[in-house]
């Protein structure tokens, strides 16, 4: 018999989610923070969604993908074009139009994930990284020349629907869905492929199918994050989705720990806030930011972190299941 949904552990998690939301709402509605730091709450949430989704491909599947910004761009432009059309030519309520735009952005990005994933995931290692990086740059170049996306001038007139409530809701949805996916049979199979794809294939697991599944799921949530991103800025430019954005997301995943969803959340918060804390350092800002990243990397590989992991204060990489049953 499976465990019930309303367990003490789940109720504690639900209470924590509600408490965090109430704290955020109090900070946003009151005078407890500056306007600048209030504006950072949405980017933090978007980076959390991007990092957690990329962790499915890079952390749990073990494939290095550098095209996450490409999927983000596809979702951003798809969702923005729909909401612009809906606002100008239909009577759909703004909230419903935005929700539909988010779904459309995620689905279109997922479809591109299928189209790109089928040939690309036959590659491994550096070759996969290079091809996914090229995909991201191709998407940016195409967007740069299409008139419907505004070209190099950017797509303007996007309704500014994104706020901390929408962002927080989709952060929770993303974390809950992906955390449960990782713990499901499909997630365990994907982790086993990361451990040894040959052994997984030898017992009947269709490795290519599961790789595409992970790739498409990551692309879908990248598209969702892109829609939130576009409706926060109200203007989209191709430069927002260059390879530096993909590297930035990858850095968040690596610093948080490969295969660690809580680590990705914490890392996204820290690395989004860190450049803002260093903004007053003028010319030394990027130097201090780089030094901070190096120190975090050294900490992640140090004995101190290992001791903290042993004491249960840091999340460990999930243990891989033994391959016993034939998965189809």
Answer CATH for 41-310 from 1.10.3470, 1.20.81, 3.30.70, 3.30.2000: 1.10.3470
Q: How far is CA 137 from CA 49, 114, 141, 229, in A?
A: 21, 18, 6, 19
CA distance 54 to 11: 28
Helical ranges in the chain per DSSP H = 8-29, 35-38, 41-55, 68-89, 94-120, 125-145, 164-183, 185-195, 197-202, 207-233, 243-256, 261-277, 285-300, 303-310
pLDDT score, position 291? 75
pLDDT score, position 320? 40
DSSP for 165-226 reads HHHHHHHHHHHHHHHHHHHSHHHHHHHHHHH-HHHHHHTT--HHHHHHHHHHHHHHHHHHHH
CA distance 65 to 217: 13
pLDDT score, position 326? 42
> Helix 243-256 to helix 285-300 angle, to the nearest 10 degrees?
40
With a CB cutoff of 8 Å and minimum separation 6, the contacts of 266 are 256
pLDDT score, position 318? 45
Task: Output phi, psi for 315, to 5 deg.
Answer: -70, 140
The H or E element that residue 150 is part of is: none
**Closest alpha carbon to 189 in 198, 200, 199, 179:** 200
DSSP-derived letter for residue 302 is: S
Q: Which residues, listed in sequence order, are joined to residue 50 by a DSSP beta bridge? A: none
CA distance 213 to 189: 11
pLDDT score, position 204? 83
pLDDT score, position 316? 53
**Closest alpha carbon to 50 in 269, 247, 218:** 218
Task: Going residue by residue through the chain, which has 328 residues, state the pLDDT in tens, using 9 for 90 and above.
Answer: 345 566 787 788 788 888 888 888 888 877 777 777 778 899 999 999 999 999 999 989 888 888 899 999 999 999 999 999 998 888 889 999 999 999 999 999 999 999 988 888 777 778 888 889 999 999 999 999 888 988 888 898 899 999 989 999 999 999 999 999 999 999 999 988 888 888 888 888 888 889 999 999 999 999 999 999 999 988 999 989 988 898 889 888 988 888 889 989 998 998 888 877 777 665 666 676 677 767 776 776 667 666 666 665 555 544 444 444 444 4
pLDDT score, position 284? 64
Whether 60 contacts 181, CB under 8 Å:
no
Count other Cβ atoms within 10 Å, centred on residue 37. 13
DSSP-derived letter for residue 7 is: -
CA distance 224 to 177: 14
Secondary structure class of 246 (helix, strand, coil): helix
Diameter over CA atoms, the chain: 61
Whether 267 contacts 51, CB under 8 Å:
yes
Whether 225 contacts 50, CB under 8 Å:
yes
Secondary structure class of 56 (helix, strand, coil): helix
pLDDT score, position 312? 58
The H or E element that residue 92 is part of is: none
Question: Sign of dihedral through CA atoms 239, 169, 44, 51?
Answer: negative
pLDDT score, position 258? 84
């Amino acid at each position: 018999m499976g465990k019930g949904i309303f367990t003490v552990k789940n109720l504690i998690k639900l209470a924590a989610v509600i408490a965090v939301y109430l704290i955020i709402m109090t900070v946003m509605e009151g005078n407890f923070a500056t306007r600048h730091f209030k504006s950072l709450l949405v980017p933090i949430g978007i980076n959390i969604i991007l990092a957690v989704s990329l962790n499915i491909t890079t952390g749990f599947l073990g494939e290095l993908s550098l095209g996450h910004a490409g999927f983000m761009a596809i979702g951003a432009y798809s969702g923005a074009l729909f909401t612009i059309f809906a606002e100008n030519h239909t009577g759909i309520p703004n909230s419903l139009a935005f929700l539909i735009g988010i779904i459309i952005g995620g689905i279109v990005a997922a479809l591109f994930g299928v189209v790109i994933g089928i040939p690309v995931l036959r590659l491994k290692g550096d070759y996969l990284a290079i091809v996914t990086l090229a995909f991201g740059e191709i998407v940016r170049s195409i967007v740069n020349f299409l008139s419907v996306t505004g070209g190099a001038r950017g797509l303007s007139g996007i309704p500014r629907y994104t706020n901390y409530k929408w962002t927080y809701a989709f952060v929770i949805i993303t974390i809950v869905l992906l955390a449960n996916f990782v713990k499901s049979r499909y997630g365990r199979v994907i982790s086993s492929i990361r451990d040894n794809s040959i052994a997984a294939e030898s017992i009947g697991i269709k490795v290519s199918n599961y790789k595409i599944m992970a790739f498409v799921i990551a692309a879908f949530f990248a598209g969702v994050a892109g829609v939130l991103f576009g409706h926060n800025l109200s203007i989209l430019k191709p430069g927002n989705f260059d390879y530096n954005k993909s590297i930035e997301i990858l850095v968040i995943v690596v610093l948080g720990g490969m295969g660690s969803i809580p680590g990705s959340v914490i890392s996204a918060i820290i690395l989004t806030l860190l450049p803002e804390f260093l903004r007053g350092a003028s010319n030394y800002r990027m130097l201090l930011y780089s030094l901070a990243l190096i120190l975090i990397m050294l900490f992640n590989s140090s004995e101190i972190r290992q001791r903290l992991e042993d004491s249960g204060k840091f999340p460990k990489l999930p243990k891989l299941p033994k391959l016993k049953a034939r998965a189809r």
